[in-house]
Amino acid sequence: MKRLAMILLLVASPLWAVQPDEILPDPAMEARARDISAGLRCLVCRNESIDESNAELARDLRLLVRERLLEGDSNDEVVAYIVDRYGEYVLLRPTLTGSNLLLWLAGPAMALLGLGVAVAYLRRQSRRRGEAEADAASQALSAAEQARLDEIMKD
């Protein structure tokens, strides 16, 4: 039972791909590297950060992050350097500026547009249904009215 619990704990815990030879000796610098790596997308695995990915490219990017930190770059400078080389797609959380803002707003805008079209369509259908019922009501004659109309038509 204890072995099963240990195996489940190992499986349930996140597995980091950072190898021991990548870890910086300075804990503060390593923490910065991990923080930066957590925000960068593995270009091979797509939805994993480079900190979680076992791909060779992710390892290269982790090493590049650590190199830039050792050269004295700030966290923002490291991210900017990698974005300049690989494009904004490398960011797991893209910026909300420029064309990205348009992409972020396009989804909700299309949903609102669809909702507006649906409401207009349902209102139009409801109005048509109401008009048809009113026409049918005005066209229906009682038996007495029909008899009187028949009498008038005979004359």
Please, which pLDDT band fits residue 148 given cuts at 50, 70 and 90? confident
Determine which helix (DSSP H) or strand (DSSP E) holds 125, and give its type and residue range: helix 98-139
Buried b (16+ CB within 10 A) or exposed e, 94-111: eeeeeeeeeeeeeeeeee
With 0-12 / 13-18 / 19 or more C-beta atoms within 10 angstroms meaning exposed / middle / buried, residue 34 is middle
Q: Last residue of some domain: 63, 90, 117?
A: 90
Residue 81 sits in a domain whose CATH number is 1.10.8.640
- Do 131 and 73 belong together in one domain? no
Residues 33 and 79 in one domain: yes
pLDDT at site 3:
63
The total number of structural domains in the chain stands at 2
Over residues 75-122, the pLDDT tens digits come to 999 999 999 998 888 888 877 777 777 877 888 999 999 999 999 999
| Single-letter code of the amino acid located at 38 | A
Give the per-residue pLDDT at 127.
86
Range of the structural domain that residue 147 is part of = 98-154
